[in-house]
Amino acid sequence: MEPEAQRKQEEWGLHEECGVFGIWDSKGGCAQTTYYGLYALQHRGQEACGIAAMNNREQSCYKDVGLVSEVFDRERLERLNGTMAVGHVRYATTGAGERENAQPLTIKYVKGTLAVVHNGNLVGVDKLRREFEYKGAIFHTSSDSELIAYAIAQERLHCGSVEEAVCRAASKLKGAFSLLVMSPEKLIACRDPWGFRPLCMGRKGEAVLFASESCAIEAVGGQVERELDPGEIVVVREGKVTSIRDNCRGLSHMCIFEYIYFARPDSVIAGQSVHRARMNAGRLLARQKPVEADLVVGVPDSGLDAARGYALESGIPLGMGFVKNRYVGRTFITPDQSSREQAVRIKLSALRSEVEGKRVVMVDDSIVRGTTCSQIINLLREAGATQVHMRVSAPPFISPCYFGTDIPDKEKLIACHHSLEEIEAMTGADSLEYLSIANLRHLAPDAKCGFCEGCFTEHYPISVEE
Ligand code: SF4
């Protein structure tokens, strides 16, 4: 991980690389709808965003670094009008904040134009890039999306349709990719054969919508129809929807961390409510490691639902332990190491009136390096908590992610080098418990999919040796 990305991760927690949204609507106004859809997906990436639209086979695109609210205004959106659009929000782990790595990735080639948006990470990407470069490719960015666009364009030269080209390219790529591809006539959604990242489809009247999460389809007034199956390709042309299943191999490895941390609680992934999955994690933790305490609090935001589950299961009252400063954003500057603690204090403060004199169970979603966690525990102690029992709604991270989450290398993961007791002492918690692997497998009972849990078990659904 590059230093800038590492600094951001330390200050702001884990991130995933992206959210995608796409729409076909004969009535037009697709860029506007995409703009609202991206707003609903902003939690998946705050570094850069962009929208490409198609109007009478003319493609237009605008993208830049910044939040959706910063990058787009009325004038820019009006210039993007069309009957199809794809949009993207990006969190960069490499090439952080670079304008050229913002998406959509647009290309012009002998068969026309393509706009590609992508969520996930390819595996073996250096080898693939070299292969293409030896065949004469010149890449302008370091993003996987450009490789994918190039692979599709190459295939398109040897087959009869863009959807066939997407299918052929997808069958050769390895890793996580939930893609939307827009050609002059078609909007194509494609999910990798392992199904690492979510991608769902919805309708709003005759309009067809695609989004990384169901919350974005609902935010624009649409109804979610279904999730794409792993390996499936869905093609929309003039409102007619067809499905290609050549790459569906019966595999299913959804990132389990989507439920614990990434996705919005109001989203439903593979039939499982994210909110309920987090509540379940809290309930399971309460059964796994009960403790005598006066109050349960969650660390905002993704610890809140798990804290509620812990409280319901244990019978210990749920309280509001922290106030989060919602105005601290992407541009917040922390110039040196010594100000890291200050950064946590600016982001979060403990509510003295709630925690003073109490034995507190504090629920959070993960511990990466352990530094932020000990600072948050310290906030509770300073506010008068007599005991702080830390409960983590995920198992310990013991290995990096190769599929789009910026979990650092093993040397920086606290659980790779210290026992539970040591981490307990280092963080200053009176007791510490992580969700067990056995319970991890029970947090999403309604999910109609299998899971990737590689960062917790070191067993990945595909070989990551490259
Ligand atoms: S390795 Fe972890 S974060 Fe990455 S896809 Fe698998 S479960 Fe998700």
The atom of ligand 1 lying closest to the CA of 456 is 2
- From 251, 453, 460, mutation site for ligand 1 pocket: most ligand atoms within 8 A of C-beta: 453
Q: How far is the CA of 406 from the centre of ligand 1 (A)?
A: 10
pLDDT confidence of residue 406 = 85
pLDDT confidence of residue 2 = 46
Reported as a single tens digit per residue, the pLDDT across 326-375 is: 887 655 565 555 666 778 888 899 999 999 999 999 999 999 988 889 99
pLDDT confidence of residue 334 = 55
Residues linked to residue 224 through DSSP beta bridges, in sequence order: 202
Tokens of 368: 């990466």
- From 15, 123, 401, mutation site for ligand 1 pocket: most ligand atoms within 8 A of C-beta: 401
Reported as a single tens digit per residue, the pLDDT across 117-130 is: 999 999 988 888 99
Q: Would you say 10 and 369 are in contact if contact means Cβ atoms under 8 Å apart?
A: yes
Ligand 1 pocket member 455 (CB < 6 A):
yes
Q: DSSP of 116-142, one letter per residue?
A: EEEES-BSSHHHHHHHHHHTT---SSS
Q: How far is the CA of 398 from the centre of ligand 1 (A)?
A: 11
**Which sign, positive or negative, has the C-alpha torsion 160, 166, 167, 172?**
positive
Ligand 1 pocket member 435 (CB < 6 A):
no
Q: What residues contact residue 23 under an 8 Å CB cut-off, 6+ apart?
A: 30, 33, 34, 37, 84, 85, 187, 207, 208, 209, 210, 220
Q: How far is the CA of 320 from the centre of ligand 1 (A)?
A: 30
Ligand 1 pocket member 14 (CB < 6 A):
no
Helices (H), 325-370: 340-347, 352-355
Window from 11-20, 23-32, 256-265, 377-386 with minimum mean pLDDT: 11-20
pLDDT confidence of residue 135 = 87
Ligand 1 pocket member 413 (CB < 6 A):
no
Residue nearest ligand 1's atom 8 by CA: 255
Q: How far is the CA of 256 from the centre of ligand 1 (A)?
A: 7
- CB-count exposure of residue 130 (10 Å: 0-12, 13-18, 19+): exposed
Ligand 1 pocket member 397 (CB < 6 A):
no
| HSE, side-chain direction, 13 A CA sphere, residue 140 | 11
Residue nearest ligand 1's atom 2 by CA: 455
The atom of ligand 1 lying closest to the CA of 454 is 1
Ligand 1 pocket member 194 (CB < 6 A):
no
Helices (H), 273-403: 274-288, 304-314, 340-347, 352-355, 371-382
Ligand 1 pocket member 452 (CB < 6 A):
yes
pLDDT confidence of residue 243 = 98
Ligand 1 pocket member 255 (CB < 6 A):
yes
Q: What residues contact residue 139 under an 8 Å CB cut-off, 6+ apart?
A: 129, 132, 133, 146, 147, 150
Q: Would you say 121 and 176 are in contact if contact means Cβ atoms under 8 Å apart?
A: yes
pLDDT confidence of residue 94 = 47
Reported as a single tens digit per residue, the pLDDT across 186-223 is: 999 999 999 999 999 999 999 999 999 999 999 999 99
- From 257, 406, 459, mutation site for ligand 1 pocket: most ligand atoms within 8 A of C-beta: 257
Q: Which residues are catalytic?
A: 18
Residue nearest ligand 1's atom 5 by CA: 255
Q: 140 falls in which pLDDT band (50, 70, 90)?
A: confident
Q: What is the mean pLDDT of the chain?
A: 92
Q: How far apart are CA 204 and CA 401, in angstroms?
A: 35
pLDDT confidence of residue 277 = 98
Ligand 1 pocket member 401 (CB < 6 A):
yes
Q: 15 falls in which pLDDT band (50, 70, 90)?
A: low
pTM for the whole structure: 0.93
Tokens of 332: 């917040």
